[in-house]
Amino acid sequence: MFYAGGVNTVELSSKKITDLKPDALVLGVATVDGQAVPFAGPAVGRALDKACAQTIRALQIKAAPEVCQTVLVEGLESPVTFVGVGEDPDPETLRRAVGAAVRSLAGREHVVLALPTGSAEEVGALAEGALLGSYAFAQYTSWDAAPVERVSILTPLASESDAKAAAERAGILATAVNRARDLVNMAPNDLFPETFADFAEQAAKAGKGGKVKVSVLDEQALADGGYGGILAVGMGSARKPRLVKLEYAPRKADTHVALVGKGITFDSGGLSLKPAKGMETMKCDMGGAAAVLNTVLAAAELKLPVRVTGWLALAENMPGGGAQRPGDVITMYDGTTVEVLNTDAEGRLVMADALARAVEDQPDALLDVATLTGAAVVALGERTAAVLGEEQLRSDVLAAADAAGEALWPLPLPDHLDETLKSPIADLKNIGERMGGTLTAGLFLRHFVGNTRWAHLDIAGPAFHEGAPYGYTLKGATGFGVRTLVGLLENQ
Ligand code: BES
Ligand code: ZN
Ligand code: ZN
């Protein structure tokens, strides 16, 4: 099994702050009536709360969200990290604040969180922030990133079942997100379609919850099945393509959701080669497949009462001698012919096959996740993903994203742009009008979903974070999509 960095569980404790001697204590600083004041749970006690207020005043510690300062407070042995939470923080502000605090404490082993927890939801938010913020990818480094190894949350709710459930859910979610991060961070010489499929099999076997069945179509099976899109994209690489099916089918389910993920383990552009700069982060082009795999695994671990079928469309897009050419006409899984004019618009080709196969099972809803277009990054920036498709499903996705703290925004599928996908010699061509490239890509996919309720998530922006870390987001893979999709399945 590959490396999985970070902590997997938090412990809830109802002890007093002075009963513990961790390597650091995390407290919040909030703005109340324009003043920076301690944001601390009852475990801190009156006297210490006063000492903290004094320290905040004396050192002019700021309440701006995510700003961290580690200091000594009279009456406490452990150093205290004050993290700003602003005014009246919502769960996502808490997640990010705790993520920032835990990140700033790398190198210390045991960290205790003493922020207030008014509800099980807030316990979950603190736990998620800590677990996501403590992630480190150390597969290839000879130095030790030494992330925080143990997190405890001081809360009066420690023995309540809904708080315990929230902490457990946070552990399962964070494990799934961090495993998705691992897959995306893996170098593309190590993670390619075959090894990705192996990983899926091993991870499903190791899962502690409900059973996830994994079946893998190799290149021969893909050829026999007529998966012309996946095969065409994979032809230019020595690493052969795969289509992985994941099935979680609990007995009590009456809803069936299908998930399809784009799994281009490296996107060179193919013969329509990308410029060198544009290729640097293209190992992230399987972020959709990583999200789908880990959503299915999390759904099983959480024993959600919904049937979930996941599809991972895995290929490496390379310009080798066998590569598809601009001008090739290919026949997709559903029989549609496509004139391939740009081999860098490969995502829609592998997705089209997987979508067409997914609808054969007649799911109640179909969602796909793909790092599909650079245009989505231009439109919405690097932190926001686009969601397109059927209106009700789109709003369900947006509601789940909002609760999860993932940024998604709706985009339309205007019919007039569909005209631009017409080819003079085939049913479709794989590129249309350049303006609104995210919309034409979505329209292309729509040709393959029939009457199934469908929504498409373009995560090209947020799948991979190149800037400085913030909140619980580190440099590199983000695991974007997992928390929204799990939330969506929970709401079914
Ligand atoms: N994998 C890319 C999209 C992408 C860009 C993902 C930036 C993450 C960050 C995709 O396969 C691609 O190259 N799309 C082309 C489509 C175009 C040729 C119609 C694009 O967006 O330029
Ligand atoms: Zn591409
Ligand atoms: Zn791509």
Q: What is the pLDDT of residues 134-193, one digit of tens each?
A: 999 989 998 877 889 999 999 999 999 999 999 999 999 999 999 999 999 999 999 999
**Among 264, 316, 372, which is best to mutate for testing ligand 1, by the most ligand atoms less than 8 A from CB?**
372
As a whole number of angstroms, the longest Cα–Cα distance in the chain is 79
Summarised one tens digit per residue, pLDDT across range 361-397 is: 999 999 999 999 999 999 999 999 999 999 999 999 9
CA–centroid distance, 373 to ligand 3, in Å, is 7
Four-point Cα dihedral 440, 364, 213, 230, nearest 10: -20
- Of 208, 292, 212, 308, the closest CA to residue 253 belongs to 308
Per annotation, catalytic residue among 62, 164, 274, 453: 274
pLDDT at 5: 55
CA distance 173 to 271: 39
3-state SS, residue 132:
helix
Residues whose CB is less than 8 angstroms from the CB of residue 311 and which lie 6 or more positions away in sequence, other chains included: 243, 244, 245, 246, 258, 259, 260, 261, 292, 354, 357, 358
How far away, in angstroms, is 349 Cα from ligand 1 center? 12
One-letter amino acid identity for 248? Answer: Y
- Read off the DSSP letter of residue 424: S
Q: What is the Cα–Cα distance from 259 to 279, expressed in whole angstroms?
A: 27
348 included as an active-site residue? yes
Residue 77 phi, psi (nearest 5): -80, -40
Q: Is the CB of 278 under 6 A from ligand 1?
A: no
H or E, element range at 367:
strand 365-370
Name the closest-CA residue to atom 13, ligand 1: 344
pTM, rounded to two decimals: 0.98
Residue 144 CA to ligand 2 centre (angstroms): 34
User: What is the spatial distance between Cα 404 and Cα 428, in angstroms, rounded to a whole number?
Assistant: 37
Residue 179 designated active-site: no
Task: Identify the residue whose C-alpha is closest to ligand 1 atom 17.
Answer: 345
User: For a pocket test of ligand 1, which of 184, 372, 373, 444 has the largest count of ligand atoms closer than 8 A to its C-beta?
Assistant: 373
**pLDDT score, position 1:** 42
HSE-CB for 375 with a 13 A CA cutoff: 16
